Structure 1
Amino acid sequence: MDAPSPAVPVALSLRGLVKTFGGKPAVAGISLDVPAGSFYGLVGPNGAGKTTTLSMATGLLRPDAGTAAVLGVDVWADPVGAKRLLGVLPDGVRLFDRLSGEQLLTYAGLLRGMDRVTVAARVRDLLEAFDLADAGRTLVVDYSAGMTKKIALAAALVHAPRVLVLDEPFESVDPISASGIRAILAEFVRSGGTVVVSSHVMDLVQRMCDHVAVVAQGQILAAGTVDEVRAGASLEDRFVQLVGGPGRTGGLSWLHT
C-alpha cells in the first residue's frame, strides 16, 4: 500500500475494498492512499479490477466490504458530501447526448446546486479551455470521440472539484485532443487538485503521473512514486515483470512467408 508521510493529506483513501460478481472476486481487498496534490496512475491489464475499484471509490458501485473516503469524507456514509469534492469521468460514460455541449455543461452545473450566473460563466470558460467554443451549440451526439471525452471531462470540472477520478480518459482520443486534456489536468494538479487516472498506456502514465499503482487480479502488486515502482526500468517493463509476460506465441508458422 502506498502510504504518504503523515504531513501529506490523503485525497483518496481506500481500505479493504472487495467486490465479487457471480462468485468470482473482481476486487480482492484493495487498500490505497492517494496523496493530495498528486497525479496518480492506476495501471493494469484488462479485467484487473481497475474500473470496479474506481467505481467503488467514487460511489458508483457499492462494495461488498471495505471503505472509501475523499479528503476524509466517507463515500458511502456521506455520499453527498464526498461527491461535492469529486469530479468523475467513468469508463464508457453515457451522456445526455441530445443536448448541446453548452446545455450539457449547464445541466451539470445546475444539478450540482450552483447558481445560474456562476454556471453560465464557467460553461463559457470550459468550452473555451477545451477548444469547444465553436461546438457549444452542437448536439453532443454529433461530437467526435475526442470531443465527447472533452465535454464529459468539462462536465466533471464545472463544480470545481478537489479530486478528479478519470477512467481511461484518453481512450479513442486523437493526439491533439489528448495533448489538450493533459495540459488541463497538469494545470489542475499544479493549482492544488488531485488526479487519479487509469490507463493502459504505460508511456503516457510514466510521463504524466508522479505516483502509480499496478493492479492485477483485483489486487495491488506495487504502489508508490513512479520511480519507486519502475525500479530503474521503464514502467512498461516493470509492469510486465509484475503482471507476467505474454503467453505462448508459437504455433503460428502458417502466418510466416
Structure 2
Amino acid sequence: MQGNVGFSPTPQSQPQPMPAASPMMPPRPVPPNPAAAVSIRGLFKRFGDKVAVNGLSMDIPVGSFYGLVGPNGAGKTTTLTMATGLLTPDAGVAMILGHDVWRDVNEVKRMIGVMPQPDQIFDRLTGLQLLIYSGMLRGMGRAESLTRAHDLLAAFDLAQAANTMVADYSAGMTKKICLASAMIHSPRILVLDEPFESVDPVSSANLKDILIEYAKTGGTVIISSHVMALVEKMCTHVAVINHGQVCAAGTVDEVAAGEDLEDRFLQLVGGRHEAAHLAWLDGGSTGSAAPVPPAAAAYPATPDAGGAR
C-alpha cells in the first residue's frame, strides 16, 4: 500500500483565501480634490499642549458662499490661516484651485484675497494710500490701483475719508478698508474672518450685496462668523467646526436638516446648559432693597461740598 493512500492535505497545504478586510481597519485616505476652490486633508496644528486643528478635512466648491461656524477656540481661524499659506501646518495638505498651498505658495497667494485684521495694516497711511499700496503689492500698476481704489472707496462709503489716516477711522470704517484691501486685485477666492463685526447695518447691507454679486460671477467667498442668522441668510454652504474637526458640512439646508441653523449648531457642538440661578440677582423684582453693609451703617453720611461742616 502506498504511503499516501488516504492522505488528507493539512490546512496549511491548501490554498488560503485572502482575509476579508476588517471592519475596524481605517478607510483609505481620500486624496484632495483639485476641482474644488479649497480642498483640505488631514490638517493638524498644535500650539504647545493644545491641539488647535485635529486632522481636519473639507472641500469648498468653486462659486460657493461658504460659512465656517464654531464656538470660540474651535479652530476656524487657525484652519483658514493654514489654508491660505500664512501659517505652516504640522501635518496635512491644503490645495487652492488645484495648487498645493505650500509647494506653490506664491501662485496661491495671487489667487486669493485674505482680509487682514486691523492690527495687521499700515494705519498711518490714508485709506486711499493703503488701497494703492495693496494693489501694487500684488503686482498691479499704480494707475490701475488708483482707479480701483476710488471704486472701492465709493462702494464702501469711504470716499469722504479717502485722505484720512486709517488710524483715525472708526472700528467699522477700519473693517471696511481691510475688506477693500483684500478685494482690490480681484481674487478668485476671498477669505474673510468676521467681516461684518463692528460694521453698521447700512454698510453691512452694501457689503453683503457686493460679496453676493462677486460670488455670482464665479468667485468663492469663505467667511468665518459667529452670527448664525447671517450665515443662514447669505451662505450657500456651511461647515460646523468644533475641537479642530468638522462636525457637519454641506449646503445650509443639509446641515440644518430641517431645523433652524442655530438650533442645529447647538446640537452639534453642545455646551449649552440651563441658566445659573443667582439668588441675589433679581433685578429688583422682589421689591427689596439691597441690604446696607453693617460697617457702612455705623457711620453717618458724609456731607457734600455744599453742606454744613
TM-score when scaled to structure 1? Answer: 0.94
- Counterpart of 1:11, as a letter, is A
CA contact (8 A) 1:38 1:211 kept: yes
Residue segments in structure 2 that go unaligned for 5+ positions in a row: 1-29, 286-309
Within 5 A, what are the aligned runs for 1:183-202?
183-202=209-228
User: Which of the residues 110, 121, 124 maps onto 1:95?
Assistant: 121
**Residue 62 (structure 1) aligned with residue 88 (structure 2):** yes
Structure-2 residue corresponding to 1:34: 60
Between stretches 225-234 and 88-97, larger displacement belongs to: 88-97
Measure the CA separation in 2 of the matches of 1:205 and 1:109: 29
Measure the CA separation in 1 of the matches of 2:264 and 2:60: 21
Measure the CA separation in 2 of the matches of 1:241 and 1:178: 29
Measure the CA separation in 2 of the matches of 1:76 and 1:245: 36
**Residue 209 (structure 1) aligned with residue 241 (structure 2):** no
User: Which of the residues 258, 262, 268 maps onto 1:232?
Assistant: 258
Cα 1:250–1:121 change in 2 (3 A) is closer
Measure the CA separation in 1 of the matches of 2:130 and 2:239: 33
**Residue 122 (structure 1) aligned with residue 152 (structure 2):** no
Query: CA offsets, 1:220-254, max 9 Å, x none?
Result: 00000000000000100000000114235334122
Deviation, 1:67, is 1.3
Measure the CA separation in 2 of the matches of 1:22 and 1:253: 40
Measure the CA separation in 2 of the matches of 1:211 and 1:92: 27
CA contact (8 A) 2:189 2:221 kept: yes
CA contact (8 A) 1:49 1:215 kept: yes
Structure-2 residue corresponding to 1:220: 246
- Counterpart of 2:210, as a letter, is I
CA contact (8 A) 2:236 2:251 kept: yes
Between stretches 44-53 and 121-130, larger displacement belongs to: 121-130
Structure-1 residue corresponding to 2:101: 75
Cα 1:200–1:128 change in 2 (3 A) is same
**SS of the counterpart of 1:28?**
strand
Deviation, 1:99, is 0.3
CA contact (8 A) 1:91 1:168 kept: no
Instruction: Indicate the structure (1 or 2) with the bigger Cα radius of gyration.
Output: 2
Deviation, 1:92, is 5.2
Aligned pairs, how many?
252
Cα 1:183–1:44 change in 2 (3 A) is same
Deviation, 1:128, is 1.3
Between stretches 131-140 and 242-251, larger displacement belongs to: 242-251
Measure the CA separation in 1 of the matches of 2:265 and 2:224: 14
**SS of the counterpart of 1:233?**
coil
Measure the CA separation in 1 of the matches of 2:144 and 2:280: 64
**SS of the counterpart of 1:166?**
strand
**Residue 106 (structure 1) aligned with residue 135 (structure 2):** no
Residue segments in structure 1 that go unaligned for 5+ positions in a row: none
- Counterpart of 1:76, as a letter, is W
Structure with larger RCO (C-alpha < 8 A, sep 6+) = 1
CA contact (8 A) 1:17 1:65 kept: yes
User: Which of the residues 33, 44, 52 maps onto 2:70?
Assistant: 44
**SS of the counterpart of 1:253?**
coil
- Counterpart of 2:165, as a letter, is L
**SS of the counterpart of 2:280?**
helix
User: Which of the residues 171, 175, 181 maps onto 1:149?
Assistant: 175
**Residue 53 (structure 1) aligned with residue 72 (structure 2):** no
Measure the CA separation in 2 of the matches of 1:218 and 1:14: 13
**Residue 16 (structure 1) aligned with residue 26 (structure 2):** no
User: Which of the residues 119, 139, 163 maps onto 2:165?
Assistant: 139
Deviation, 1:90, is 4.1
**SS of the counterpart of 2:120?**
coil
Measure the CA separation in 1 of the matches of 2:225 and 2:259: 19
